[in-house]
Amino acid sequence: MMAVAMNHDELRGLLKRREPMHRHTSWRVGGPADRFYEPADIEDLATFLQTLSPTEPLYWVGLGSNLLVRDGGVRGTVIMLSGKLNGLTRFSETTIRAEAGVASAKLARFSASQNLRGAEFLAGVPGTVGGALAMNAGAFGGETWSIVTAVETLDRRGQRRTRLPSDYQVGYRTVVGPKNEWFVAGHFTLTPGNGEEGQAQIKALLAKRGATQPTQWPNAGSVFRNPPGDHSARLIETAGLKGLTVGGAQVSPLHANFIVNTGKATAADIEALIAKIQAEVEKLHGIRLEPEVRVIGEAV
């Protein structure tokens, strides 16, 4: 890995070449990214996007959860938002504005500190606001877009827009909107309430998460979407797959819809285990599980 300062006078961020992605994914796997940019803020990111070729492949990363980067790495540019686009403010009496790099759990806690209720479920989403917006992430019965009233986006030309939920088709773990635009902030409208009760609810949800999910092992959150009327974890468990391993990757004995890195897993191990789970569940139940995790990059 080599870090280099951008030679464009207007850019204030940091460009790294051949940056190992295992440093930036919650599974702790992944080969190097050709280019890896850490913007100073939204304005700097807009300027950086203008420097890229219209055909340059772009990949956006927050906390690196819900993401599998293959061992051969990423051809193109990875843009790292976590810790960079971190603005978090009370935008109005009932609305919080959070930039895309803010951890979802931080948004939940901040909202409660402002005596606003309705974002507590986000404490169980192991990613950032940008990722939650992109996939309508959910936890404990709540979904991100249920509290979204506006989003801010950037396109490849660095043009910034504010859009409404009506500009998007939102479903279970899916969000479809204008092409070649990316979320840089969200506006979340909540309900005034007792902040101490909100903090207590967050604490209880995190305790439940710790008791039912393998948070002590590197993982990427839920691997598969739940099929209509059922749960992927139930289908995997009844197929007898808890504890199944491929190399250093294992179906968590605690929660069947989690794959953990037991220490020496490769991305290839994880991808092979995903395929094996799909095959076994389809063979037994006749249901093809669809991955929730995003897979990018090239195999070795």
Q: By the 8 A CB rule, do 13 and 38 touch?
A: yes
pLDDT attached to residue 9:
63
Q: CA distances (Å), 234 to each of 183, 195, 284, 285, in order?
A: 33, 35, 12, 11
CA distance 81 to 100: 7
Count of residues in the chain: 300
Q: Exactly one of 90, 117, 173, 225 is catalytic; name it.
A: 173
| Residues 80 and 24 sit within 8 Å (Cβ to Cβ) | yes
Nearest to 170 by CA among 135, 121, 140: 135
- Told to judge if 97 belongs to the known catalytic residues of this protein, a careful annotator would answer no
Backbone torsion region of residue 266, taken as left when φ is above 0, otherwise alpha when ψ lies between -120 and 50, otherwise beta = beta
Tokens representing 246 are: 């491929």
> How far is residue 144's CA from residue 195's CA, in Å, rounded to a whole number?
20
Put residue 48 in one of left, alpha, beta given phi > 0 → left and psi -120 to 50 → alpha: alpha
pTM value is 0.92
Known catalytic residue at 111: no
Q: Strand runs (DSSP E) across 82-201, as ranges?
A: 88-90, 95-99, 116-117, 138-139, 142-143, 148-155, 160-163, 169-171, 174-176, 181-189, 191-192
- Per residue in 75-115, pLDDT tens? 999 999 999 999 999 999 999 999 999 999 999 999 999 99
Radius of gyration of the chain (CA): 19
Which pLDDT score, from 0 to 100, does residue 4 have? Answer: 41
158, burial (CB in 10 Å: exposed 0-12, middle 13-18, buried 19+)? middle
* Ranges of the chain whose pLDDT falls below 70: 1-9
Domains and CATH numbers, the chain: 2-80 (3.30.43.10), 88-212 (3.30.465.10), 232-296 (3.90.78.10)
Q: Torsions phi, psi of 298, nearest 5? A: -115, 145
The verdict on whether 280 is a catalytic residue reads: no
DSSP state of 210: H
> CB count, 10 Å around CB of 79?
24
Q: Which of 9, 83, 3, 6 is nearest to 41 (CA)?
A: 83
Choose among 72, 290, 108: nearest CA to 199. 108
Q: What pLDDT was estimated at residue 10?
A: 83
| 280 Cβ contact list (under 8 Å, min separation 6) | 239, 241
Report the distance separating Cα 233 and Cα 237, nearest Å: 6
Catalytic pick among 65, 222, 232, 252 = 222
Nearest to 136 by CA among 103, 168, 89: 168
The pLDDT of residue 43: 97
